[in-house]
Chain A
Amino acid sequence: MVKPLVIRGGRLIDPHNRVNAIRDLILRDGRVAEVSEKAPAIEGARVVDATGRWVLPGLIDLHVHLREPGEEGKETILTGSRAAVAGGFTAVVAMPNTRPVNDNRLVTRYILGRAKEAGLCDVFPAGAISKGLKGEEMAEIGELAAAGCRCITDDGMPVMNAGLLRRVFLYARAFNLPVMLHEEDLNLSVHGAITEGVRATRLGLMPIPGSAEVSMVARDLAIAEETKARVHLAHLSCEGSVRFLREAKRRGVNVTAEATPHHFTLTDAAVEGYDTHAKMNPPLRQMEDLKAIRDALADGTIDAIATDHAPHGVLDKDVEFDKASNGIVGLETALPLALEMVQQGVLSRERVVELLTIGPAKAFGLPGGHLGAGAPANVTVVDPEAKWTVNARSFFSKGRNTPFQGRSVTGKVTHTIVGGRVVFEEGRVAENLE
């Protein structure tokens, strides 16, 4: 049994319960037992002094690639879990593009088993929409749901066949699973490497037009409206996507969406010098897109910040730009990058916390996301003033592929608590002793 834990003197920011005040928290038996202005002393309890710190519901990331099974050289569920808790995340949703693909219950159970062995944070598997992510035949969605998948997605690949997708939208309703979509018309993105525009033109890199994403967003929102499906749009990058999404939400379409730290922080300027750490899919876009994404995060059009954590090895990135793998690691830099928007006055701190906690929890119906009495005892304690420099060599992730190397950031996770147990503390991840 985990000892009771008292978190004293911190600023509790819990948007779901409309709290933003100095509060003490008592965690007991894996739940929030009490939130009060002054908690009584509890014998045998461990006390975390959070004076001057923010106490947040455990952060939830709807979009990570943990690479296991199949590509354990890039990341494992254990190393990915370490990276998660080091970044303040107490729950992550693991994408199904592993080898083999998570399109059947054996893989789902394997992932859940490995996550339990790692014992650091919640890992919620996402199952595949189509067998082998090929976009041809529906995966056994009912079986995936029964095995513990919390959403279905072919992430990494779009579902090009609109007829298949429409049937999936209808079918998935039987299991109340959100359908997460990677929006990219492959006939428009073809050989592209970076977003269309002057930088692609200058560098001689083949362009990916925004319409590759926007047209698919429009298509799928139309199908979602007809089918009343529960749809989640992954990693939106374009101003046009946001426009269609906002309109769809106004019409009552059951849709949620996420944006990544890199899409609200960087533009294609980061590609300069053919930096493969700035190569991802969807690509970094332009300033008007970045601004639209930030506006959508602020006004509620986008529901969640998700990292699309995508670890790769040196051999995948230290190559010609057009041959380099897509994606960057994100778990250990997401929070300070999100907080930059607070420092710049784009978002309130409550809104940033919402986007990292209750927003994603609601989108997928996951536990937690708030710290009301009875909620899971998943807590992230942050020193909002701590300044530090991003250094990939000190990441817990196996991936070193970040475009933020050397960036000075503010805001550091000091404690991550999962199920009432401190799993990350002052730079160190707890070993799994239980």
Chain B
Amino acid sequence: MRVPRTTRNPHLLGIEGLDRSFIDALLALAGEHKRATASGVPRTPLAGRVVANLFFESSTRTRTSFEIAAKTMGAEVLNWTTSGSSVSKGEGLIDTARNVDAIGPAAIVIRHGSSGAAQLISRYVRCSVINAGDGAHEHPSQALLDAFTLQERLGTLKGKHVLIAGDILHSRVARSNIHCLGLLGASVLVSGPPTLIPKDVEALGCKVATNFREAVGMADAVMMLRVQAERQADPAFPSAREYAAHWGLNGALALQMKDGAVVLHPGPVNWGVELSPEVAEGVRSTILEQVANGVAIRMAILETFAW
């Protein structure tokens, strides 16, 4: 099965603007890859192609996941990171992207700290651009793997309540998930310290739950976001201790969750802050499934966009 990459979306810059059928097709293709890989005969539609990983921010999961996905499908992977590159000599984003593009990859997978970075380079390169996280904007592959994982666990997302909790303001995972889950028919709630809920977030297609604990009890899935300590130059809450007490998911609170409800986390986890270890290790947790499914999703993305 092929997902038609149209001229309207030659790049994967975000979930916003994609349509339902395109997402369904990507998720179905990821399922095929997952089954083929499990059967020991992975499909290799990218043989002879090059995928360039351009990571301006540190990342473990996403970068290795894209790398394994590309290699499993037969592609060569060019791994480019800021340390030891010309960025330390002052080379800018556009120059870097154009030079990497000139090497001839089928796609550039970019992770960058600035919102809009993927869209910016997409105007300067010939190859496809796949956004692997841009600032606080979008992280589409994460939202797709979350949706894939939720569909495996919950069957369908239609009519399901998904709570996204924590630092919504700085979270690209939250934005991509709000768009993606909405498209798939889920009803999305966000919750967190009011200092970390961006203004008019409802306009993205979610509701704001002022009572986090109550929202946990109603949800079919709770997605705990990482407290981004590196973004806390002007602290949005008094202490990790207080955060954990009011917006953390611990064992006691998890007991109030509905039967069959699951807990997601995009990782890496700040243990004991937003999530306690007993929840992460429990049956509700999908954390390692998310990581595993991430490879299948990225195979589907690369097969669709890396040509």
Residue positions of A touching B, CB distance < 8 A: 190-191, 196-198, 200-207, 273-274, 315, 318-323
In the complex, chain B residues whose CB is within 8 Å of the CB of A206: 136
The answer, among B94, B120, B137, B234, for a CB contact under 8 Å with A204, is B137
What per-residue 1/0 map shows which CB atoms of B17-50 lie under 8 Å from chain A? 0000000000000000000000000000000000
A204 vs B94: C-alpha distance when bound (angstroms): 20
A202 and B120 in contact, given A207-B198, A207-B199, A322-B135 (Cβ under 8 angstroms): no
A319, B116: Cβ atoms closer than 8 Å: no
A320, B199: Cβ atoms closer than 8 Å: no
Residue positions of B touching A, CB distance < 8 A: 16, 92-94, 112, 114-117, 119-120, 134-138, 172, 175, 198-201, 203-204, 233-234
In the complex, chain B residues whose CB is within 8 Å of the CB of A322: 114-115, 135
- The 3 closest A-B CB pairs, nearest first, are A274-B116, A204-B137, A320-B114
A197 and B114 in contact, given A202-B175, A205-B136, A319-B92 (Cβ under 8 angstroms): no
Among B116, B136, B234: residue with most chain A CB under 10 A: B116
A190 vs B233: C-alpha distance when bound (angstroms): 10
In the complex, chain B residues whose CB is within 8 Å of the CB of A200: 198-199
A274 vs B234: C-alpha distance when bound (angstroms): 25
B198, A318: Cβ atoms closer than 8 Å: no
In the complex, chain B residues whose CB is within 8 Å of the CB of A201: 198-201, 203-204
In the complex, chain B residues whose CB is within 8 Å of the CB of A320: 93, 112, 114, 116-117, 120
A204, B204: Cβ atoms closer than 8 Å: no
Q: Smallest CB–CB gap between A194 and chain B, Å?
A: 10
Q: Smallest CB–CB gap between B173 and chain A, Å?
A: 11
A147 vs B135: C-alpha distance when bound (angstroms): 47
A323, B119: Cβ atoms closer than 8 Å: no
The answer, among A196, A198, A203, A318, for a CB contact under 8 Å with B115, is A203
In the complex, chain B residues whose CB is within 8 Å of the CB of A321: 114-116, 120
In the complex, chain B residues whose CB is within 8 Å of the CB of A191: 233
A203 vs B204: C-alpha distance when bound (angstroms): 11
A198, B120: Cβ atoms closer than 8 Å: no
The answer, among A196, A273, A274, for a CB contact under 8 Å with B199, is A196
A sample of 19 cross-chain residue pairs with beta-carbon separation below 8 angstroms, ordered by A number, consists of A191-B233, A196-B199, A198-B200, A198-B204, A201-B199, A203-B115, A203-B116, A204-B115, A204-B135, A205-B115, A205-B136, A274-B116, A274-B119, A319-B93, A319-B94, A320-B120, A321-B115, A322-B115, A323-B114
